[in-house]
Amino acid sequence: MGKLTFSMGGVHPHDSKYARECAIEELPLPQTVYVSMAQHLGAPAKPLVAVGDQVKVGQVIAEPGGFISAFIHSPASGTVKSIAPRKDLAGNPVMHVEIAVEGDEWDPAIDRSPELVTAIPDDKAAILERIKACGVVGLGGATFPTHVKLSPPPGKVAECLIINGAECEPFLTSDYRIMIERPKEIVIGAAIMQKVLGGCPCVIGIEENKPEGIARMHAAVAELGYPGIRVQVLKKRYPQGGEKQLIDAVMHRQVKSGGLPIDVGAVVQNVATSLAVYEAVQKNKPLITNVLTITGDTLPVEKQHNYLFRIGVPLSFIVEQAGGVPETAAKLISGGPMMGKAISNLDATTVKGSSSVLYLSDAATRRKAESNCIRCGKCADACPMGLEPFLLNRLYKAGDLDALEKNAAQDCIECGCCLYSCPANIPLLDHIRQAKGQVMGVIRARAAAAKAAAEAAKAAAETQK
Amino acid sequence: MTQTIIWTVAILSVLGLLLALILFWVARKFKVEEDPRIDEVEKVMPGANCGGCGFAGCRAFADAAVKAPNLDNQYCPVGGDEVMQKVASILGYTVAKKAPQVAVVRCNGSCEARPRINEYDGAQSCRVKAALYSGDTACSYGCLGCGDCVAACQFGALSMDPATGLPIVDEQKCTACGACAKACPKHIIELRAKGPRGMREFVSCVNKDKGPMAKKACASACIGCGLCAKTCQHGAITVTDNVAYIDFNLCKLCRECEAVCPTGAIHGVNFPKELDKDAVKKRIADRKAKAAAAPEEKKEVANG
What confidence tens digit (pLDDT) does each residue in A372-388 have? Answer: 999 999 999 999 999 99
Length of chain B: 304
In angstroms, the separation between the Cα of residue B72 and the nearest Cα of chain A is 27
- Neighboring chain B residues of A434 at a CB cutoff of 8 Å: 125, 127-128, 131
- Let me know: does A106 contact A284? Beta carbons within 8 Å: no
| CATH homologous superfamily for the domain B36-91 | Electron transport complex subunit B, putative Fe-S cluster (1.10.15.40)
Nearest CA-CA partner of B117 in B96, B85, B139: B139
End-to-end CA distance of chain A: 62
Residue in A90, A431, A434 closest to B134 by CB: A90
A92:B131 CB<8 A: no
CATH 3.30.70.20 occupies which residues in chain B?
A: 107-191, 195-304
pLDDT at B66: 87
Q: Cβ of B56 under 8 Å from any chain A Cβ?
A: no
**Chain A residue nearest residue B138, CA to CA:** A91
Give the pLDDT confidence score for residue B304 in this predicted structure: 43
The pLDDT tens digits for B206-264 are 999 889 989 999 999 999 999 999 999 999 999 999 999 999 889 999 999 999 999 99
- Residues of chain A found within 8 Å of residue B185, distances taken between Cβ atoms: none
Q: What is the CA radius of gyration of chain B?
A: 29
Q: What is the mean pLDDT of residues A77-102?
A: 92
Q: Name the strand (E) or helix (H) holding A341.
A: strand A341-342
Q: Which of A119-123, A264-268, A366-370, B34-38 has the highest mean pLDDT?
A: A264-268
Min Cα separation B253/chain A (Å): 35
Chain B: closest CA distance from residue A360 (Å): 14
Q: Which of B114, B116, B118, B126 to probe the A interface (max A CBs under 10 A)?
A: B118
Distance, CA of A45 to CA of A293 (rounded, Å): 26
pLDDT per residue as tens digits for the range A188-242: 999 999 999 998 999 999 999 999 999 999 999 999 999 999 999 999 999 999 9
Residues of B within 8 A of A433 (CB-CB) are 128, 131
CB contact under 8 A, B132 and A90: yes
pLDDT of the residue at B295: 67
pLDDT exceeding 70 applies to what percent of chain A?
100
Q: Using only C-alpha atoms, what is the Rg of chain A?
A: 22
Please answer yes or no on whether B123 and A431 come within 8 Å at the CB atom.
yes
How far away is chain B from the Cα of A393, in angstroms, using its nearest Cα?
Answer: 12
The DSSP-derived string for A202-215 is EEEEEETT-HHHHH
Chain A: closest CA distance from residue B128 (Å)? 6
Answer yes or no: do B121 and A366 touch at CB < 8 A: yes
Nearest to B127 among A93, A342, A434 (CB): A434
What pLDDT, on a 0 to 100 scale, did the predictor assign at position B294? 76
The dihedral region occupied by B156, where left means phi > 0, alpha psi between -120 and 50, and beta the remainder, is left
Predicted local confidence at residue B204, as pLDDT: 94
Size (chain A), residues: 465
pLDDT tens-place string over residues A275-323: 999 999 999 999 999 999 999 998 898 899 999 999 999 999 999 999 9
pLDDT number for residue B301: 53
What are the angstrom distances between the C-alpha of B215 and each of A28, B219, B267? Answer: 34, 5, 17
Q: What is the CATH number of domain A156-283?
A: 3.40.50.11540
CA distance B252 to B231: 13
Please report the pLDDT score of residue B222 as a whole number: 94
Answer whether B132 sits within 8 Å of A341, measured CB to CB: yes
| Whether A361 contacts A329, CB under 8 Å | yes
- What's the CA gap between B205 and B222, in Å, rounded? 6
Pairing type for strands A78-87 and A54-55 reads: antiparallel
Name the amino acid, one letter, at B28. Answer: R
CA distance B268 to chain A (A): 30
Q: Is the distance from CB of B117 to CB of B136 less than 8 angstroms? A: yes
Cα torsion through A138, A139, A140, A143, rounded to 10: 50
Topology of the domain covering B107-191: Alpha-Beta Plaits (3.30.70)
For A10-33, what is the mean pLDDT? Answer: 93
Stretch among A9-23, A400-414, B58-72 having the lowest mean pLDDT: B58-72
Residues 6+ apart with CB under 8 A from A360: A296, A297, A329, A330, A331, A332, A333, A337
Residue A334 Cα, gap to closest chain B Cα (Å): 13
| C-alpha to C-alpha distance for B188 and B179, rounded to whole angstroms | 13
Q: Is B140 on the interface with A (CB under 8 A)?
A: yes
Q: Which residue on chain B is closest to A91 by alpha carbon?
A: B134
Choose among B121, B127, B134: nearest Cβ to A92: B134
Give per-residue burial for A259-271: e unless 16+ CB within 10 Å, then b: ebbbebbbbbbbb
d(CA B213, CA B209): 6
Tell me if residue A414 falls in helix, strand or coil: coil
Instruction: Tell me the HSE value of A453 on the side-chain side, using a 13 A CA sphere.
Output: 6
Nearest in space to B213 (alpha carbons), one of B234, B243, B236, B183: B243
Q: Quote the minimal CA–CA distance from A98 to chain B in Å.
A: 17
Which candidate from B122, B132, B135 shows the least CB-CB separation from A367?
Answer: B122
Tell me which chain A residues have a C-beta less than 8 angstroms from the C-beta of B125. 430-431, 434
Chain A neighbors of B133, CB-CB under 8 A: 90-92, 341-342, 344
* Cβ-based neighbour number of residue B12 at 10 Å: 10
* Antiparallel, parallel or unpaired: β A46-47 and B266-269: unpaired
Nearest to A344 among B118, B123, B125 (CB): B118
Which of A430, A432, A433, A434 to probe the B interface (max B CBs under 10 A)?
A430
Q: Which CATH architecture has domain B195-304?
A: 2-Layer Sandwich (3.30)
Q: How far apart are CA B238 and CA B253, in angstroms?
A: 16
- The helix/strand/coil state of B15 is helix
Interchain contact, A91 vs B125, CB within 8 Å: no
Query: What is the least distance, in Å, from the CA of A432 to any CA of chain B?
Result: 10
CA distance A87 to A96: 9
Which residues does chain B have with pLDDT short of 50?
Answer: 304
The whole-angstrom separation of Cα B138 and Cα B127 is: 18
Domain boundaries, chain A: 156-283, 378-447
**CA B197 – CA B201 distance, rounded (Å):** 13
Q: Which residues of A touch B132 (CB under 8 A)?
A: 90, 341-342, 430
CA-based nearest residue in chain B for residue A433: B128
Q: Which of A308, A361, A352 is nearest to A333 (CA)?
A: A361
In chain B, DSSP finds a helix count (H) and a strand count (E) of 11, 8
Out of B122, B123, B133, the one facing A90 most closely (by C-beta) is B133
Phi, then psi, of B39 in degrees rounded to 5: -65, -40
To the nearest 10 degrees (0 to 180), the angle between helices A428-464 and A389-398 is 70
**SS3 at position A99:** strand
The C-alpha atoms of residue B108 and residue B161 are separated, in whole angstroms, by: 12
- Under the banding of pLDDT at 50, 70 and 90, the label for residue A184 is very high
**Closest C-alpha among A307, A332, A326 to residue A318:** A307
